[in-house]
Amino acid sequence: MSRAPTTQQPKLPPLLQRRSGAMTRELLLQPGSYGLGMTHQTLLPDTTTTAVCGYCATGCGLRLHLRQGEAVGLTPETDYPVNLGMACPKGWEALRVLQSEDRATHPLLRDAGGELRRLSWDDALKEFCSRFKAIQSQHGKDSVAFLSTGQIATEEMAFLGALAKFGMGLKHGDGNTRQCMATAVTAYKESFGFDAPPYTYDDFEQSDCLVFIGSNLCIGHPIMWERVLRNRRSPEIIVIDPRRTETAMAATQHLQLRPKSDLVLLYAITQHLIASGLVDHDFVTNHTSGYPEFQQHVESFTPDVASKLTGLSADQIRRAAEAIGTASAASLWWTMGVNQSYEGVRTAQAIINIALITGNVGKPGTGANSITGQCNAMGSRLWSNTTNLFGHHQFDNCDHRQKVADALRIDVDRIPREGSWSYDRIIEGIRRQEIRGLWVIATNPAHSWIHQSDVRELLGQLDFLVVQDMYSSTESAQHADLVLPAAGWGEKEGTLINSERRYGLQRRVRPAPGEALADFQIFRAIAHYWGVGDMFDEWTDPEAVFRIMQRASRGQPCDITGIAGYEQIDRCGGVQWPWTERDAAEQPAPATQRRLFEDGRFYTPDGRAKLIVDSIASMPEAPDQRYPILLLTGRGSVSQWHTQTRTSKSPILRKLYPNDPYIEINPEDGSQLGIGSGQTARVISRRGQAKVTVLLTPTIPAGQAFMPMHYESTNLLTLSHFDPYSRQPSYKDCAVRIEPADRK
Ligand SMILES: Nc1nc2c(c(=O)[nH]1)N[C@H]1C(S)=C(S)[C@@H](COP(=O)(O)OP(=O)(O)OC[C@H]3O[C@@H](n4cnc5c(=O)[nH]c(N)nc54)[C@H](O)[C@@H]3O)O[C@H]1N2
Ligand SMILES: Nc1nc2c(c(=O)[nH]1)N[C@H]1C(S)=C(S)[C@@H](COP(=O)(O)OP(=O)(O)OC[C@H]3O[C@@H](n4cnc5c(=O)[nH]c(N)nc54)[C@H](O)[C@@H]3O)O[C@H]1N2
Ligand code: SF4
Ligand SMILES: [Mo]
């Protein structure tokens, strides 16, 4: 892959060798420094540099235009293998949102009167350590927990996970990726033996039949959708979604199934593939296990039986199955319509099964492909050191612990022998007062967690809540006892791993406002103040941490020992994992597009992928007479990002979406309720209510409603329930009632 010549490339920091002993607290807390008296990187004036976008997991390359070493604008990188010159509005506006009055610029501590007041970093970090240590000594080490994220650099996540678990001795820490990717992780692990999304984006263009299950690609991943549009094979595009989404409208087949009937539908597709002789028996025999039981399990799910449960016609089901079974390269893609479900893992595995039995694995245009959400959700899966040990090892495996201890050069006894509680268990731990202190980094649970009023109450019960964020106005920061101001995308460096396993570089192209520090620097400073700075002697700067990660990855499916360093990542247009030392010795450079399982060998002990099936679960809160409508939630527009802390700061993005919360309902329901488009209504669930503007649209079937997650009231309504294997919240099914707002 050759990159267009830029003017001058900025210099990356030299290998920093000074020990933390030489570090003073002043240097440690100097914005833009790593405590070594030097800034992250020396940017040359009036040049350009590239960085990957910090919103979604597409991981587009952006070219930043600098004046006097500071970014003044950006354009999509024409040469980056991900986006090929394209970007969505969030990417175009990425710099704008960094300038905002509510940026967190100084540490803030809540005083006795309940006001957040400014204090120095030195005092803030002393407070952080003394309060958490006091809780630990009174209630035990495990009474302090942390919530991490999929939106900081990989090296920052790694630092946080190592500091919290090995340095501060915390056992429980999870991340917002639980809300997002946990189902895919569990499904892949059980089926493939490792959390390994197999695809590369080129597969969007090489496929003859693309199936999107619970994925609104046009809105959630618009540049991936652009890649689909570049497909020259006139592919069949099958969209499985209860709503007629933007993506469904562009499909050749839209299977508008009843919500949460996916597992039945997928088993029926499987049954029809088998009955029609569309199974690749060679692949099944040589590369999978469990086929006889699997075949028996799906036998009763005929298209006719499934028709009743899914609301689709048997012909629609057969047609979709035949399109998949006869395509020379079929690919199946899924996102939150699958992952955020009380039977998400088994549904994801039903997708994996279809790819396996049709031999659609390891070849161009194929795959059972979970699409990631946040810019570094993949980084969190591999490196956050929360439920899995550093580098996707296991805490309960003694060899793994020793290997990680050696790679990190720490005492093995510092590594806990079991993984963390999942996010929901940490929340329950607060209820039982077993968790008394919480440190929240780059996530906004007071808006995004399921059944939000409950969460807010629980956050209020904590003895000490620390929120580390770019903005001091987030819903979670409003509950915090201590706010630590963080630099954001564009103000720090490190790697992000995109949806196709590609490590890309993030750059520091602007100074952070006020005294805000890069998360990396905050972790480094906390290590020092906590008294475990020595453990992190080698963790001087992000690239140094990258080298530690490389050591820990050795021999894992995610082995990156062959990557020469940041410079190579930049030069090659990102590098997908794995890239081992052996690969590097045998090949001049990593190919731009690499997929997994080309040899049909999986990461299970016998090298075979497992065909896993289960019985169908019932919806815990199905609509009834009092709450007759099923509420779906998800992404509303391309210009809104999650809890809107960032996207709401751009005047341009704000023009592209409705300012106030709204609900989409079918015109039939609207006329029955006597509510028209533009009128206000109350949406009421068993847990709370929200005032919203109604939008009547035939894209949502009667009996269902849709609310975007970007407005804080949405999660007042949602029901706290989870997939039993992944513990991922089931955000897309709860029963509500809708009333005109003026009705008493
Ligand atoms: N603009 C924008 N883009 C984003 C994000 C953002 O906030 N804004 N967030 C990013 C993140 S973190 C993520 S995880 C991704 C999410 O990306 P997506 O998963 O594509 O987004 P969602 O809208 O949450 O859900 C996708 C679809 O699932 C459907 N669905 C609901 N219930 C069911 C069901 O039972 N079965 C099926 N088959 N479908 C169902 C919904 O109707 C919806 O259209 O987007 C990423 N990209
Ligand atoms: N009802 C409903 N709820 C949902 C979903 C749904 O579909 N429906 N989707 C779920 C999904 S998939 C996801 S991923 C979650 C997302 O939920 P959250 O993670 O809570 O949402 P964000 O708004 O992305 O929060 C990220 C926070 O990190 C801050 N931040 C950004 N960059 C940095 C940084 O570099 N450093 C620091 N320290 N802070 C930073 C931002 O200002 C923001 O406050 O929401 C989930 N909630
Ligand atoms: S598609 Fe995702 S990565 Fe690309 S510019 Fe938009 S938000 Fe950024
Ligand atoms: Mo997500």
Residue 30 sits in a domain of what CATH number? 2.20.25.90
State how far the Cα of 547 lies from the Cα of 329, in Å rounded to an integer: 38
Domain check: are 314 and 224 in the same one? yes
Q: Which of 90, 97, 653 to mutate to test the pocket of ligand 3 (most atoms within 8 A of CB)?
A: 90
Domain check: are 298 and 444 in the same one? no
Beta-strand pair 662-665/704-708: antiparallel
Domain check: are 129 and 188 in the same one? no
Output the CA 84–ligand 3 centroid distance in Å. 12
State how far the Cα of 667 lies from the Cα of 533, in Å rounded to an integer: 62
Domain check: are 197 and 290 in the same one? yes
332 HSE (CA, 13 A, CB side) = 27
Is residue 129 within a helix (H) or strand (E), and if so which, with residue range? helix 121-139
Domain check: are 387 and 520 in the same one? yes
Q: Which of 149, 449, 482 to mutate to test the pocket of ligand 2 (most atoms within 8 A of CB)?
A: 149
Out of 39, 71, 99, pick the residue that ends a domain. 99
Domain check: are 349 and 432 in the same one? no
- The closest-lying atom of ligand 2 relative to the alpha carbon of residue 732 is 8
Q: In Å, what is the CA distance from 79 to each residue of 49, 76, 334, 454?
A: 13, 9, 27, 47
Please enumerate, as own/partner, the contacts of 204-207 that have beta carbons within 8 Å and a separation of 24 or more.
204/228, 204/230, 204/231, 204/331, 205/230, 205/231, 205/232, 205/365, 206/231, 206/233, 206/329, 206/364, 206/365, 207/231, 207/233, 207/235, 207/327, 207/329, 207/330, 207/331, 207/365, 207/366
Domain check: are 359 and 230 in the same one? yes
pLDDT digits (tens, 9 = 90+) for 681-699: 999 999 999 999 999 999 9
Q: Enter the tokens of residue 200.
A: 């590369």
Output the CA 441–ligand 2 centroid distance in Å. 10
User: Does residue 12 belong to any structural domain of this protein?
Assistant: no
- At 520, give phi and psi (nearest 5°): -55, -45
User: Does residue 671 belong to any structural domain of this protein?
Assistant: yes
Out of 81, 99, 117, pick the residue that ends a domain. 99
User: Does residue 278 belong to any structural domain of this protein?
Assistant: yes
Task: Give how many domains the chain has, as a whole number.
Answer: 4
Domain check: are 161 and 204 in the same one? no
Out of 42, 65, 99, pick the residue that ends a domain. 99
- CATH number of the structural domain spanning residue 173: 3.40.50.740
Q: Enter the tokens of residue 329.
A: 């390269």
Evaluate whether 632 touches 685 at the Cβ level (below 8 Å). no
User: Does residue 590 belong to any structural domain of this protein?
Assistant: no
pTM of the model: 0.96
Residues (pLDDT < 70) of the chain are 1-23, 35-45, 743-744
What is the pLDDT at residue 33?
72
User: Does residue 619 belong to any structural domain of this protein?
Assistant: no
Domain check: are 120 and 78 in the same one? no
Any atom of ligand 3 within 6 Å of the Cβ of 52? no
User: Does residue 307 belong to any structural domain of this protein?
Assistant: yes
- CATH number of the structural domain spanning residue 663: 2.40.40.20
Q: Which residues contact ligand 1 via a Cβ below 6 A?
A: 56, 180, 213-216, 219-221, 240-243, 245, 259-260, 262, 335-337, 373-374, 632, 634-635, 638, 640-642, 732
Q: Enter the tokens of residue 332.
A: 């199946």
Domain check: are 223 and 332 in the same one? yes
Domain check: are 509 and 360 in the same one? no
- CATH number of the structural domain spanning residue 316: 3.40.228.10
User: Does residue 578 belong to any structural domain of this protein?
Assistant: no
What is the pLDDT at residue 296?
98
- The closest-lying atom of ligand 3 relative to the alpha carbon of residue 76 is 5
Contacts of 651 (CB under 8 A, 6+ apart): 96
What is the pLDDT at residue 68?
86
- Domain carrying residue 35: 25-99
pLDDT digits (tens, 9 = 90+) for 344-361: 999 999 999 999 999 999
- What's the maximum distance between 2 C-alpha atoms anywhere in the chain? 74
User: Does residue 598 belong to any structural domain of this protein?
Assistant: no
What is the pLDDT at residue 22?
47
What is the pLDDT at residue 29?
85
State how far the Cα of 178 lies from the Cα of 374, in Å rounded to an integer: 12
Question: In the beta sheet, which residues pair with residue 67?
Answer: 70
Domain check: are 241 and 218 in the same one? yes
